[in-house]
Structure 1
Amino acid sequence: MINKEKLKRRFSRNAKQYEQYAIIQKNMVKRLLSILNKDFNRKQEINESKKEQNNFKILEIGSGTGYLTSHLVSYFPMASITAVDLAQGMIDYASTALNKENIHWICADVEVLQLTDTYDLIISNATFQWFNNFGETLEKLLNILKPNGTLLFSTFGSNTFIELKTAYLSVAKEMGLEKEISPPSQSFLEKTEIRNLIDKKYNIEILVEKEYEYFDSCLNFFNAIKKIGANDSKHGKKILPPEFIQNVLAHYDQFYMTPNGIEVTYEPLYVKILNSSK
């Protein structure tokens, strides 16, 4: 289970430097927008009349620093946007940078937030992996999606940080700590797991891609993760022996070094769900 209070503090503390280090997350925003523009043709459709734009409602989950929000404002300048984020620091940063009358900022955990409105577009970037009740929250969001509305989100697949997971398992086995060492990050869902959660009445498409980052060392990779507040935030996390951490760092640097530096794999999943009910 994710400790939401810890997560909230970490993201709030790192709001000002988040975009500097969240390179993969920013790339994922660009991919989401390409899907939005190409597959949905929303920009052309909504810009046909200001009247339609005034009636168009968007819910953004995990709005963070407002990087995606700013693009939504550009795409849909007259639409009503509700931007929700868990961390007050993120809300403060984004609302200052994007002081727009058509954006309603809410600091809350969307998993427990009571949502009474309905939306034409629900969109989220790199947030759903922080849910403790993925299936229930997904169902709640689909229930507030208007007919012909779209839920579009990105999250991370199970091969994300595969090098780190392998290093943990290898070192744990070498040190006889297999039963004491938990995975180094929260669990990421498989494509099939997400698909199985969706009722057959919805049209769903899932795109799986790979992104890579390179660092001088595993330690620099760890530091970059901390810079955006995305380090492990599970409840009841055990303090690992210093020797174990040092061995993991050495293992990673030895086995995953490339000419560009140590390699870090991300597996972004892009999920598009259309409410085709009339």
Structure 2
Amino acid sequence: MKRMIDKQLVQKRFSERAKTYDQFANVQKKMADALISRIAARPTAILEIGCGTGYLTEKLRQAFPDAHIMAVDIAEGMIAVARERLGNDRIVWRCADIEEMDILARYDLIISNATFQWLNDAERTIARLSDALNRGGQLLFSTFGAQTFYELHASFAAALKQQHITEALRIGPSFPTLVEWLACCGRATSAAVRGSETFETERFPSVRDFFLSLRHIGATNSTTGRYCQRPSVFKAMMKEYEQRFSENGHIQATYHCLFVDITL
């Protein structure tokens, strides 16, 4: 599961897109709603990782009005939007990288929506978070799976073949499978680990509109590695995409949504 993330780039991109994020993060909102439905017990102390603009934070406060929430995000711009949205009542906002942040308190619920794909050392982080749970506590997170944007990757592979390029290049990040995530969690903690997966499909007028939606949520690629910069390949990829994955004048983009539940 080793993919190195440029955290400064992540921080910069999400801060810049904080004001447009909610308009375009439709799948992320569905994943947040699904996480809420998976909370097993009524928590009084909650740690939310990657709170973003506060969509899940707001749902948590509505569901558990007496709970104290620590909401953490790496991007100052996201924290600013979330704080403006929800204020400071029973919520402590903190701009920090969870992989570097000291976790000094203990929690009944640690929850994170569409964030763990940005971790560089998921196993170590999950071990630290598990240690911060109270007895009977729950670590619940969603992330993206290996089949996310399979249309894009298939079209890019076809474009490389057309251009007779045999070098191992990619167009975006590769995500772990659910099996890989469960194995990672199993190494990180002795607690019970369960997982599930769903698929969500979005439709766009063109591939350019799809790319623009990703840019508006700050989710453009932030991993290190070899990427193709050739305009001819991108042109061929977009043509392949629109020929192979169009229906009724719109292209489709599939999100592979993973949910992992660790309960002490």
State the TM-score, normalizing by the size of structure 1: 0.89
Q: Partner amino acid for 1:270?
A: F
CA shift for structure 1 position 16: 0.8
Displacement of 1:184: 2.1
Partner residue of 2:236 out of 243, 247, 270: 247
Q: Does 1:32 pair with 2:35?
A: yes
Check if 1:114 corresponds to 2:117. no
SS at match of 1:267: strand
1:11 equivalent among 9, 14, 23: 14
In structure 2, distance between residues paired with 1:112 and 1:187? 23
In the TM superposition, 1:57-136 aligns within 5 A as: 57-136=45-124
Verify the 8 A CA contact 1:82 1:103 in the aligned structure 2. Answer: yes
Q: Which amino acid aligns with 1:188?
A: F
Is the contact between residue 194 and residue 261 of structure 2 (CA under 8 Å) also seen in structure 1? yes
Is the alpha carbon distance of 1:84 and 1:5 closer, same or farther for their aligned partners in structure 2, counting shifts above 3 Å?
Answer: same
Deviation of 1:180 after TM superposition, in Å, equals 5.0
Q: 1:191 aligns with which of 163, 178, 190?
A: 178
Gaps of 5+ in 1: 47-55
Distance 2:239 2:213 in 1: 18
**Aligned partner letter, 2:217:** I
The equivalent of 1:50 in structure 2 is none
**For each residue in 1:178-220, what CA deviation from the matched residue of structure 2 results, as whole angstroms up to 9, or x when unmatched?**
3152x22222111111111234731121111010000111111
Using the size of structure 2 for normalisation, the TM-score is: 0.94
> How far apart in 1 are the matches of 2:249 and 2:143?
26
What is the number of equivalent residue pairs in this alignment? Answer: 259
The answer to whether the 8 Å contact 2:182/2:260 transfers is no
Which segments of 5 or more consecutive residues in structure 2 lack a partner in the other structure? none
* Counterpart mapping for 1:205-216 below 5 A: 205-216=194-205
Contact 1:169 1:178 in 2 (8 A): no
Percent sequence identity is 38
Query: In the aligned structure 2, how far is the partner of 1:131 from the partner of 1:89?
Result: 19
Q: Which residue of 1 aligns with 2:255?
A: 266
Cα RMSD of the aligned pairs, angstroms, is 1.5
- Please state how far the C-alpha of 1:100 moved relative to its aligned partner: 2.6
Contact 1:2/1:186 (<8 A) preserved: no
